[in-house]
Amino acid sequence: MSPELARAIVSRILAQIRVGSLIVVEAGHLRVYGHGTPSATVEVHAPQTWSRLLSGSRGLAETYAERLWDCPDPVALIRLAALNVHLLDRVRAVLTPVRAPLQHARGLLRRNTRGRSRHDIAAHYDLGNELFSHMLDRTMSYSCAVFERPGMTLQEASQAKFERICQKLELAEHDRVVEIGTGWGGFAVYAAHTRGCRVTTTTISREQHDYALEQVRRAGLQDQVEILLRDYRDLQGHYDKLVSIEMIEAVGWQHFGTFFAQCSRLLTPEGAMLLQAITIDDRAYHVEKASKSFINTHIFPGGCLPSLGVIARSVARRTDMHMLHLEDLTPHYVETLRRWRANFAARARDLERLGYDVRFQRLWQMYLCYCEAGFAERRIGELQVLLGKPRWRSRSDTFIPSSPLPSPAGELAASGPIG
């Protein structure tokens, strides 16, 4: 397709902007779409950008990584897109019945077998511990932190997230805990150290596994923490408590039921589970679940965000657990990502010396901006969900108080028991 035709098609789409404005600068010419705030400015450096933008988020990210266009504030640009994406959603929803058979077939062909899961996880988490250590805090927590009070450091907020989980599960010294998705071992070490419980945690990332082993050794917790290199589907035994922090997104939409069924099997009749998950709006789930987006092709291969409705249905159909408590942490992820993005940018030269070239860094900058904007405009959300087995009984009538961070729109994160 010629650049002129592609530019005309994209321009027609941009003319539908109803909230905010987009300023496009190309070869000295300026075009404005929409009006008012929020506003974002894009400078297009190469005409081939337009045809590649027709492939959606993948084209947007790839052309940014290749420096075919620039924007002084990519977060503002993606927030503007999120505010107007309902126009595109309507078109995609109409096409869903036509696309559904193809998406279903594609999903069946790309099932998350154990081998594929290891490959997909390695493609992100085995990029090198140095990469993540330059972006994250010392806990190496790669999930939403909780900023309970003004002035908290990222490390303090990560530890606050761990503490919140421990309190909701009422972890005690006698508990046997299983964690699905070790990360770099931050939660396992924190729970064992502060509660004295025994933790079995599993990952399929070799780099995470080896790093977590070293953290456990340094903390002197070898007798309390066991690190496995094993697929969650192969876990055996029974545990009092189960924790899974932002791992469900890697399960694949075909396997959400399998995931919850396995979690339920691993728990004793008195057990409880804490799930922390990135979710997508129920209304967008069926459109997005099998789409080939920037995130699930370049960042998290094979990933899929569940919706709260999908979580609830999977729990009801495949387990005997009940949903006991739900907390919305979405505004906290906006701040978490802002901190990660700042760390990443501040260490750009160090990352380049380690072999992460400019194209890679720009791709990851777009990833962090893309997610930050998605949470800011609630295109995606962050939830902590407490689930209990039939004989689970809390020792307390109240949960820890919520200290939410205001969202950009001035909303407060909701927290409270179900029912």
Summarised one tens digit per residue, pLDDT across range 333-358 is 999 999 999 999 999 999 999 999 99
d(CA 265, CA 234): 12
Contact between residue 332 and residue 404 where contact means Cβ atoms under 8 Å apart? yes
Least confident of 7-21, 197-211, 280-294: 280-294
Residues with a known catalytic role: 371
**pLDDT confidence of residue 106:** 56
**pLDDT confidence of residue 319:** 98
For residue 73, pLDDT over 80 is answered with: yes
State pLDDT tens for residues 368-391. Answer: 999 999 999 999 999 999 999 999
DSSP 145: -
Do the domain assignments include residue 312? Answer: yes
d(CA 406, CA 163): 21
CA distances from residue 167 to 10, 162, 164, 195, 351 in whole angstroms, order as listed: 50, 9, 5, 10, 37
Pairing between strand 176-180 and 239-245?
parallel
Number of domains making up the chain: 2
Indicate if 237 and 193 belong to the same structural domain. yes
CA distances from residue 417 to 161, 199, 400 in whole angstroms, order as listed: 18, 26, 11
Helix (H) or strand (E) holding 69: strand 69-70
3-state class of 247 per DSSP? coil
CA angle 336, 341, 346 (to 5 degrees): 130
Indicate if 122 and 81 belong to the same structural domain. no
Indicate if 374 and 287 belong to the same structural domain. yes
Average pLDDT over residues 320-324: 97
**pLDDT confidence of residue 115:** 82
Q: Domain of 291: which CATH number?
A: 3.40.50.150
Do the domain assignments include residue 369? Answer: yes
Give residue 58's domain range.
3-88
Indicate if 53 and 202 belong to the same structural domain. no
User: Quick one: which of 111, 114, 25 has its CA closest to 71?
Assistant: 25
φ, ψ of residue 366 to 5 degrees: the values are -65, -40
Residue percentage of the chain with pLDDT more than 70 = 89
Do the domain assignments include residue 97? Answer: no
Q: What is the signed CA dihedral for 92, 19, 82, 16, rounded to 10 degrees?
A: 30
Helix and strand numbers, DSSP H then E, in the chain = 16, 12
Task: Indicate the burial class of 88 (C-beta count within 10 angstroms; 0-12, 13-18, 19 or more).
Answer: middle
For residue 121, pLDDT over 90 is answered with: no
Do the domain assignments include residue 299? Answer: yes
Q: Which tokens sit at 298? A: 């370049």
Residue whose structure tokens are 């709006």? 281
Indicate if 231 and 380 belong to the same structural domain. yes
State pLDDT tens for residues 284-293. Answer: 888 888 678 8
**pLDDT confidence of residue 293:** 86
Residue whose structure tokens are 């800011």? 376
For residue 102, pLDDT over 80 is answered with: no
**pLDDT confidence of residue 419:** 41
Indicate if 206 and 63 belong to the same structural domain. no
**pLDDT confidence of residue 413:** 38
DSSP 32: E
CA distances from residue 234 to 64, 114, 225, 237, 262 in whole angstroms, order as listed: 40, 10, 18, 10, 9
Do the domain assignments include residue 140? Answer: yes
Indicate if 17 and 125 belong to the same structural domain. no
Do the domain assignments include residue 167? Answer: yes
Q: How far is CA 320 from the centre of its chain?
A: 27
Indicate if 45 and 176 belong to the same structural domain. no
Output the pTM of the full model.
Answer: 0.89
For residue 208, pLDDT over 90 is answered with: yes
Average pLDDT over residues 93-119: 63
Q: Domain of 63: which CATH number?
A: 3.30.1050
For 269, residues 6+ apart whose C-beta sits below 8 A from its C-beta are 389, 390, 391
Do the domain assignments include residue 102? Answer: no
Q: Which tokens sit at 2? A: 């010629």
* Domain finish residue from 18, 53, 88: 88
Indicate if 69 and 182 belong to the same structural domain. no
For residue 407, pLDDT over 50 is answered with: no
The Cβ-side half-sphere exposure at 366, using a 13 Å CA radius, reads 23
Do the domain assignments include residue 239? Answer: yes
State pLDDT tens for residues 234-247. Answer: 999 999 999 999 99
E strand residue ranges, 230-321: 239-245, 267-280
State pLDDT tens for residues 149-197. Answer: 999 999 999 999 999 999 999 999 999 999 999 999 999 999 999 999 9
